[in-house]
Amino acid sequence: MNVPVLPSGVRLHEDRVRNCIVLLGPERALLLDASGTAILNAVDGVRSMAEIAQELAQRFGAPLDAVRTDVEGFLKDLAARRLVDIV
Amino acid sequence: MSDIPAPIAMLAELTHRCPLSCPYCSNPLEMVRGAQEMPTEIWADVFAQAARLGVLQLHLSGGEPAARRDLPELVADARAAGLYVNLITSGIGLTAARLDALEAAGLDHVQLSLQGVRASTADRIGGYKGGFDRKMDLARLIADRGLALTINAVMHRTNLDDLPRMIEMARDLGARRIEIACVQFYGWALKNRAGLQPSRAQVDQAKAIVAAARADSNGRLVIDFVPPDYYADYPKSCMGGWGSTGLNIAPDGTVLPCHAAQTLEHLEFQNVQQTALADIWYRGAAFNAYRGNAWMPEPCQSCPRKALDHGGCRCQALALTGDAAATDPVCRKSPDRAKVDALLAEGETGTDADWVYRMSPV
Ligand code: SF4
Ligand code: SF4
């Protein structure tokens, strides 16, 4: 179904020292930029990657194809590092 | 605060007590006694200070952290401070009930060490009979709860040939990640170097096995591999640079730039029970001793790799050359590389019959 979900042991954290959102996992801490933050905030274990892309494209008034490429590339890269599961 | 970055990770050695006695233990030869360990409320304050300083990840370690009765409280305190909490454990001392308590306290991740792939070798290496079977039971309890698990496999001459089975076991036990750490030679491991050092052929084979396992696991198992640095051409980037990403707290509150730093006896290490953690990190003499590039000798000073490896490890430089500010002797460009090659040649003859086991402090 291509639904991304954060596995156990991985979570988002608000870093008040560096003023950004961080993705924390086993031995990993990824400081996220605005686009990474928007994508991961939309990951709720219910919506598919396509649905997330659609929502973000609408919200930011950006072309859907480009957003979909970004969303899938970002999440698949995290999935390869087991920081996201795609189920 | 100037150009000194905030630390990302903190290793808290809650205790040096441990039921196991691995001959490569990363604790210092001189361990902190139980009576000198910091109490719960001081640790809680240290966690809060660390979080304010910018630490994101907390590694609760030891010794065996489960030897602390207040472990669930410490986990809860660390989570309340806003830290990601990883438990580095041998598993001995953890039961189903204690795991439940840790989970309820908000534990994020467990890193379980395995000394080998079968009871006979593993228990001999850890010096603890029955340890292997208990670890297997515990791994199942962790998996049942859906807690994130990393298998931490410490490898050396005696067990490196079992690497394929070790990777298979990590998968079977439901780990999402395996950390294959070849013993690095500090403290106890340096004492036992000749009997622990794998051969070059073993290391080359291990690299090939890891490469193959990475290719076929397609995202199922994350494999982090630390090869022994004596066989490398360039040193490892120790701690990502002295005083730049992480710090270590000993059971009595001594704050160290890395777990082996107490061997640098010319430095004075401050204690978090007397001085604020931020002061120690930003202004402490020990943390500033090898920060940045200014301290570096040649050949590092004019080397383009200095931003990558920061001249290597200070503890290794001291242990092998007698000078903590020397280029890490593992480096091909170091005038002391011959010393490492001599150790490698000598290591071919060592055996595990000569191991000196560590002892738990009281
Ligand atoms: S003796 Fe073994 S299990 Fe205990 S702290 Fe040392 S390395 Fe870890
Ligand atoms: S000379 Fe120094 S900086 Fe260059 S590779 Fe060797 S250790 Fe690293």
Question: Can you tell me the distance from the alpha carbon of B267 to that of B280, in angstroms, rounded to the nearest whole number?
Answer: 13
pLDDT band at A30 (very low <50, low <70, confident <90, very high): very high
Residue with tokens 């274990």: A45
Residue B7 CB contacts under 8 Å (≥ 6 apart), including other chains: B50, B53, B54, B55, B244, B245, B246, B247, B281
Query: Strand A20-25 vs strand A11-15: parallel, antiparallel, or unpaired?
Result: antiparallel
**pLDDT over threshold 50, residue B1:** no
**pLDDT over threshold 70, residue B54:** yes
Q: What digits encode the pLDDT tens for the residues B250-303?
A: 999 999 999 889 889 899 999 999 999 999 999 999 999 999 999 999 999 999
- Ligand 1: which atom is nearest the Cα of residue B27? 6
Domains, chain A, in order of start with CATH, read 7-81 (1.10.10.1150)
Q: Is B53 an interface residue toward A (CB < 8 Å)?
A: yes
C-alpha of residue B131 to centroid of ligand 2, in Å: 41
Residue with tokens 């080359």: B204
Q: Do A82 and B108 touch (CB under 8 A)?
A: no
C-alpha of residue B137 to centroid of ligand 1, in Å: 19
Provide the pLDDT for residue B3: 86
DSSP 8-state symbol, B175: -
Provide the pLDDT for residue B217: 61
What angle, rounded to 10 degrees, do the helices at B314-321 and B337-347 form? 80
**pLDDT over threshold 90, residue A66:** yes
Spell out which residues of chain A touch residue B179, defining contact as CB-CB under 8 Å: 27
DSSP 8-state symbol, A85: E
> In the β-sheet with B84-89, what is the strand arrangement from edge to edge?
B222-226, B177-182, B148-155, B109-114, B84-89, B57-61, B9-13, B246-249, B255-256
Q: Tell me which residue of B267, B272, B318 sits closest to B288, measured CA to CA.
A: B267
CA dihedral B176, B182, B184, B190 (to 10 degrees): 130
Alpha-helix runs per DSSP H in chain B: 40-53, 71-81, 96-104, 119-126, 131-145, 163-172, 187-191, 193-196, 200-216, 277-283, 285-289, 306-309, 314-321, 337-347
State the pTM of this model: 0.93
Provide the pLDDT for residue B158: 86
B316 φ/ψ angles, rounded to the nearest 5 degrees: -70, -40
- Cα–Cα distance list, A84 to A21, A36, A45, A52, B176 (Å): 16, 13, 10, 15, 11
Smallest CA–CA separation between B109 and chain A, in Å? 6
